[in-house]
Structure 1
Amino acid sequence: MIKVGILTLSDKGSKGEREDLSGKILIELSEAENWNVIKYEIIPDEKDQIVEILKNWADKENLDLIITTGGTGVYPRDVTPEATKEVIEKEIPGIPEYIRYISYPITPMAALTRGLAGVRKTTLIINLPGSPKAIKEIFPKLVPIIKHAIEKIKGDPSECARN
């Protein structure tokens, strides 16, 4: 079973001024895959706080997957990719490329998302947009990629090549 942490980055959400629909949707979608959501938090868009939680969840909680939602755009307080870059040891550029590829036919604003994906120790970290609609469109298409990535991160030696 995949152990998951969901981290919502929202100044308003962290103050209770906005309901965290994206985080709730991610919990529902993760549980529908029979994944175990171990950690869930809503925090403000503060880089140092994001870095601290990502490190703690990867290093001490030993989560298989951390999904962040929010803070990936161009608003001055959007710092999720910068925090993630500080934490990951291996970047996986194909995941955010694929996320934008999925999103372009729906909205040209996909060009503005700056999310990253990567690995810290044995934890896959993926930045997703803060839009509930985007989460519903993107997450189901990422599931097979996430499963395969986690298998490989954990050391699965089987061949990936197709016959």
Structure 2
Amino acid sequence: MKVGIITASDKGAAGQREDLSGPAIEEMIREIGGEVAAYEVVPDEFEALKAAMIHMADDLGCHLIFTTGGTGFSKRDVTPEATLAVMERNAPGIAEAMRAASLAITNRAMLTRAVSVIRGDSIIVNLPGSPKGVRECLAVILPALPHGVEILTGQASECARPD
């Protein structure tokens, strides 16, 4: 599976902070046979985020696109809005699963505005901005995502679990 990673960080894009969350994603996606096809650190700007997602989905054909950062309440946090702007179909269960699992760890999980959507043959998922949050959320959703990609790309047709 081709994977795209987008880190939303003003300081990271300016070279003032090392991105630790993007590498955490890269490390964990190997568990499901994922290979990073694209990795970008962009500022917390709507158009930059939107352009990166469109490029990875439409031009590079990434099956999974993970964003990290920009999902909180800060005025600069616009990752969910950029993600919804490129959406063709909603896939709320992924973000709901992450939120539910995270709430068992901290009540601050209710403050995330992360979304998950479909664009073409790509599943786009907003992850937290911290490496710890990335690992906790990916641990919940990674086991189901390969099947989601198979269904989306027509490689499988059933979501029901075998008896």
Structure 2 match to 1:124: 123
Distance 2:147 2:79 in 1: 24
Structure 2 unmatched runs, 5+: none
Matched, 1:53 2:52: yes
Q: Tell me how far 1:161 sits from its aligned partner.
A: 2.0
Letter in 2 for 1:13: G
Question: Secondary structure of 2:66's partner?
Answer: strand
Distance 2:34 2:157 in 1: 22
Instruction: Establish whether residue 136 from structure 1 lines up as the match of residue 132 from structure 2.
Output: no
Matched, 1:14 2:10: no
Q: What TM-score, normalized to structure 2?
A: 0.95
User: C-alpha distance in 1, partners of 2:156/2:147?
Assistant: 12
Deviations 1:115-158 (A, max 9, x none): 11111010110000101111111112211221111011001343
Query: Residues 31-64 of structure 1, C-alpha deviation per residue, up to 9 Å, x if partnerless?
Result: 3433110100101001011111111111111111
Distance in 1 (CA, whole Å) between partners of 2:151 and 2:9 is: 32
Where do 4+ consecutive residues of structure 1 move more than 6 Å?
A: none
1:47-99 residue CA offsets vs partner (Å, 9 max, x unmatched):
01111111111111111110000000001100000000010101111111111
CA RMSD of aligned residues (A): 1.1
Number of paired residues? 162
Instruction: Give me the identity figure in percent.
Output: 46
How big is the shift at 1:105? 1.3
- C-alpha distance 157-35 of structure 1, shift in aligned 2 (>3 A): closer
What do residues 13-47 of structure 1 show as CA deviations (whole Å, max 9, x unaligned)? 11111111111111111234331101001010010
Which residue of 2 is the match for residue 31 of structure 1?
30
**Match for 2:19: what amino acid?**
D
Asked if structure 1 preserves the Cα contact closer than 8 Å seen for 2:151 and 2:158, the reply is no
Matched position secondary structure for 1:137: helix
Partner of 1:44 in structure 2?
Answer: 43
User: What CA distance in whole angstroms lies between the structure 2 residues aligned with 1:15 and 1:94?
Assistant: 34
Residue 47 of structure 2 aligns to a residue whose secondary structure is helix
Provide the residue aligned with 2:74 in structure 1.
Answer: 75
Q: Name the CA distance, whole Å, in 1 between partners of 2:58 and 2:133.
A: 29
